[in-house]
């Protein structure tokens, strides 16, 4: 796998959850996609989106992104 989308699909994300995960990763860590995929960080975040704890696992910058999309604790 080489993209966040491929990772998200591999853990079972679909639809808005998949789109939000991919967008979050690309906004939060631009230019790091391949590194994050290869080292498992993308998989870790895909799982957080799948199980609904992306917001609580995020730092302040990540929470601002998620809040702008309607996510809340």
What local confidence, expressed as pLDDT, does residue 16 receive? 96
Residue range 5-63, pLDDT digits in tens: 999 999 999 999 999 999 999 999 999 999 999 999 999 999 999 999 999 999 999 99
Residue 56 contacts residue 73 (beta carbons within 8 Å): yes
Q: How confident is the model at residue 72 (pLDDT cuts 50, 70, 90)?
A: confident
What local confidence, expressed as pLDDT, does residue 60 receive? 97
Question: 72 or 52: which carries more pLDDT confidence?
Answer: 52
Which residue stretches of the chain are H helix?
Answer: 4-10, 15-28, 33-38, 41-50, 54-57, 60-68
CA distance 73 to 58: 11
CA distance 72 to 66: 8
Global pTM value: 0.95
């Amino acid at each position: 796998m080489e993209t966040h989308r491929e990772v998200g699909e591999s853990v079972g994300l679909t639809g808005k959850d998949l789109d939000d995960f991919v967008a979050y990763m690309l906004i939060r860590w631009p230019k790091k996609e391949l590194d994050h995929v290869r080292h498992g960080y993308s998989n870790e975040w895909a799982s957080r989106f799948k199980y609904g704890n992306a917001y609580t696992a995020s730092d302040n910058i990540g929470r601002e992104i998620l809040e702008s999309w309607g996510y809340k604790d």
